[in-house]
Amino acid sequence: MTTFAELLLNGISMGAVYALIALGFVIIFKASEVVNFAHASLLLAGGFLVAELHPSIGFWPALLAGVAGAALLGCLVEFLVIRRSKAASHSVLAIVTIGVDIILVTELTRQIGTDVMAMGDPWRDKVLHLGPVSIAQTRVVALLIAGVLITAFLLAFKYTGWGVAMRASAEDGETAALMGVRLGRVSLGAWAVAGALAAVAALFLAVFPTPGLDRTTGVIALKAFPAAILGGLDSTTGALAGGLIVGVTEALMTGYQSEMAFLGRGIGDVAPYLVMIIILLVRPAGLLGTRELTRV
Amino acid sequence: MINADDPLVPGSGLRIRNLRVGYGPVQALRGVSLEAPSGSVVAVLGANGAGKSTLLRAVSGTLRFHRGAVTAGEIEYAGRPLSRLSAAAVVARGVTQVPEGRRVFTRMTVAENLRAGALGGRGRKETAAARRRVLELFPVLAERAGQRAGLLSGGEQQMLAIGRALMARPSVLLLDEPTLGLAPLMAARIADTVREINAQGTTVLLVEQNAAMALSLASHAYVLEVGEVVMSGPADELAASDEVRRRYLGEIDPAEDTDEATGAPADRTVLTRWSA
């Protein structure tokens, strides 16, 4: 039971981090109608900035710089690549983002080399004991910060003018433009927010118990992809649900691996994709993907 | 915000001169000139494909969504050109459109739709005043404020679409077929509303296939055919002209009658379901 509680808590915490990444996917998809395969490189860039800067300027300023840097990089990709190729179809644009990803990751890999970079976080390897349950402090912080960010995001999405503009242009861009919404600005904002969230996620993917940030950290962002898809690529709450499902599934499957030895090792890494495929077979639009609510 | 209450200054309204619009190689408008003086209601009549919606898209700056572009001519409002502006900038100048087919944001609530209409504007006070005016005009929108717009009836959606456009406090309102697909009673209500909006000082450019309704509202009308203005003049004169009566007011020769008849019954079945 203790193991289960520990695994579940860890899973939820990782799930919250995946949800941060998945939210980024979703809002970019909603605002620019692009499936952004360059998300992994935004994440890696944000994490790299934090790791690179913290020895000289301290952890919190470095985190801020990482978040700002990833947001800026997101804006640059939108402004220099996505916006310029407005004429291309959306599937072509998705492939373009793969190209962007390869370019960015190649450069970052060159910078990082074979290093495993420490993030310089104040939580280090401390472990929190809640009765019999032990959990890394970083995981608790990750859950709290991700929770706060996700709540703030969802509230802003629901209640602010920015949120209304985002939803309006996601539903019908032309009509939103007729209402005076500047679509370019909405799209730029989405990329910036997605980059910022990815940088925060990068931090928590690279702290204890992970040894640190290395050139493969970005690959973990790919796990957030099934999270976004199974939640419904155009649903923000779906991204949240998807993130948690992926996090918990992964944690439980990894934790009980020895009891399921017949499945072989590494089932935890595969499980999120299996879940995604099963859910998509039952609900093609994802758990909370759009079902039109119209009376005809 | 642009002040809607300018008195009738000559040349202060919406003015379109020799406008040509193409969608790639296809010419949709071929030298259209039109004027909607400040404070007037002007109607544009024409069949499907005559270029009516294209005309409004050109004014609102949304041609690029349809891969179209203005190739020649001028669009001016209050003496300043609109032709090169983005859609958002046109709204900021005080020219707002209610698009064809209503196009309310179905996944958002009625209140959120109204809020979306104010996104191009500035200032909480102005927005609050605009909302009051809209809810006075359409009390049903206040009752349905928390409901998803997709669940409204067709007529309610049209009211929402007009209300949403009014949230930007436009001085010129462009209406694209506001009565299309509505039951006659609802169409008459929409017509009354348009009259009231105009009485409160907003210039209205009305694009319609329902010529009888449009001509009863407008002071001046233009007839578009295949991208060209083929007739124009005071609305009552046009309503009296033989050609308009024959082609647009339902006093039709048999050949065109069958044409009309095939479209109409389909519309009506939809309507009974909507009003149920």
If one compares B174 and A222, the residue with the highest pLDDT of the two is B174
Residues 147-176 on A with a CB inside 8 Å of B are: 161, 164-165, 167-168, 171-176
How would residue A263 be classed by pLDDT, with cut points 50, 70 and 90? confident
b/e for B241-268, b at 16 or more Cβ within 10 A? beebbebbbeebeeeeeeeeeeeeeeee
- Residue A49 in any domain: the answer is yes
All residues of chain A having their beta carbon less than 8 Å from the beta carbon of residue B103 are 172, 174-175
Chain B's closest residue to A185, CA to CA, is: B88
All residues of chain A having their beta carbon less than 8 Å from the beta carbon of residue B61 are 177
Which residues are CB-contacts of B30 (< 8 A; sequence separation ≥ 6)?
A: B20, B226, B227, B228
Q: Do residues A81 and A68 make contact, with C-beta atoms less than 8 angstroms apart? A: no
CB pairs under 8 A between A and B: 87
Q: Does A291 touch chain B (CB under 8 A)?
A: no
Highest mean predicted confidence (pLDDT) among A276-285, B25-34, B259-268: B25-34
* pLDDT at B251 (0 to 100): 62
Q: Does A293 touch chain B (CB under 8 A)?
A: yes
Are A179 and B117 inside 8 Å of each other by CB? yes
Q: Which of A180, A292, A296 sits opposite B119 (nearest CB)?
A: A180
Distance from CA of B65 to the nearest CA of A (A): 7
Which site among A175, A185, A235 would you substitute to test the B interface, given the most B Cβ atoms closer than 10 Å to its Cβ? A175
How would residue B272 be classed by pLDDT, with cut points 50, 70 and 90? very low
All residues of chain A having their beta carbon less than 8 Å from the beta carbon of residue B173 are none
Are A178 and B87 inside 8 Å of each other by CB? yes
Q: Which of A165, A180, A292 sits opposite B121 (nearest CB)?
A: A180
All residues of chain A having their beta carbon less than 8 Å from the beta carbon of residue B107 are 167, 171, 290, 293
When divided into structural domains, chain A yields a total of: 1
* pLDDT at A295 (0 to 100): 39
With residue B206 as reference, give the H or E element that holds it. strand B203-208
Is the torsion defined by CA of A140, A146, A149, A154 positive or negative?
negative
Looking from the CA of A117 toward its CB, the CA atoms found within 13 Å total: 26
CA of A61: how far to CAs of A66, A199, A273, in Å? 9, 13, 36
Are B87 and A168 inside 8 Å of each other by CB? no
All residues of chain A having their beta carbon less than 8 Å from the beta carbon of residue B105 are 167-168, 171-172, 175
ipTM of the shown complex: 0.84
Q: Give mean pLDDT, residues B47-64.
A: 91
* pLDDT at B250 (0 to 100): 66
- Residue A136 in any domain: the answer is yes
Is the pLDDT reported for residue A67 higher than 90?
Answer: yes
Q: Which two tokens stand for residue A45?
A: 């860039």
* pLDDT at B87 (0 to 100): 93
- Residue A168 in any domain: the answer is yes
- Beta strands A133-136 and A127-130 are antiparallel
Q: Give mean pLDDT, residues A290-295.
A: 48
Which site among A86, A158, A171, A179 would you substitute to test the B interface, given the most B Cβ atoms closer than 10 Å to its Cβ? A179
- Residue A276 in any domain: the answer is no
Chain B's closest residue to A176, CA to CA, is: B116
* Single-letter amino acid, residue B247: R
* pLDDT at A258 (0 to 100): 78
Which site among B1, B57, B105, B113 would you substitute to test the A interface, given the most A Cβ atoms closer than 10 Å to its Cβ? B105
Which residues are CB-contacts of B4 (< 8 A; sequence separation ≥ 6)?
A: B94, B169, B170, B171, B201, B202
Q: Give mean pLDDT, residues A33-61.
A: 93
User: Strands, E, within chain A: which ranges?
Assistant: 127-130, 133-136
Are B168 and A179 inside 8 Å of each other by CB? yes
Q: Does A179 touch chain B (CB under 8 A)?
A: yes
- Residue A132 in any domain: the answer is yes
**A53-57, B85-89, B102-106, B119-123: least confidently modelled range:** B119-123
pLDDT in tens, A214-262: 988 888 878 888 899 888 888 889 999 999 999 999 999 888 887 877 7
Is the pLDDT reported for residue A192 higher than 70?
Answer: yes
Is the pLDDT reported for residue A293 higher than 90?
Answer: no
All residues of chain B having their beta carbon less than 8 Å from the beta carbon of residue A290 are 107
- Residue A240 in any domain: the answer is no
Rounded Cα gap, residues A23 and A198, in angstroms: 9
What pTM did the predictor assign? 0.85
**Which is nearest to A10 in space by CA: A242, A203, A209?**
A209
All residues of chain B having their beta carbon less than 8 Å from the beta carbon of residue A293 are 106-107, 148, 150-151
How would residue A179 be classed by pLDDT, with cut points 50, 70 and 90? very high
- Residue A158 in any domain: the answer is yes
- Residue A247 in any domain: the answer is no
Is the pLDDT reported for residue B84 higher than 90?
Answer: no
Distance from CA of B107 to the nearest CA of A (A): 7
Rounded Cα gap, residues A2 and A12, in angstroms: 15
pLDDT in tens, B254-263: 444 444 444 4
Structural domain containing residue A80: 2-220
How would residue A31 be classed by pLDDT, with cut points 50, 70 and 90? confident
Which site among B2, B66, B91, B119 would you substitute to test the A interface, given the most A Cβ atoms closer than 10 Å to its Cβ? B119
pLDDT in tens, B198-215: 999 999 999 988 888 899
Q: Which two tokens stand for residue A111?
A: 């910078």
How would residue B3 be classed by pLDDT, with cut points 50, 70 and 90? very low
All residues of chain A having their beta carbon less than 8 Å from the beta carbon of residue B108 are 164, 167-168, 171
Is the pLDDT reported for residue A99 higher than 70?
Answer: yes
Looking from the CA of B202 toward its CB, the CA atoms found within 13 Å total: 27
Are B148 and A295 inside 8 Å of each other by CB? no
Interface of B with A (CB under 8 A): 60-62, 65, 86-88, 91-92, 96-97, 99, 103, 105-108, 112, 115-117, 119-121, 148, 150-151, 153, 164-165, 168, 273-274
Q: Which of B86, B120, B151 sits opposite A179 (nearest CB)?
A: B120
If you average pLDDT over every residue of chain A, what do you get? 89
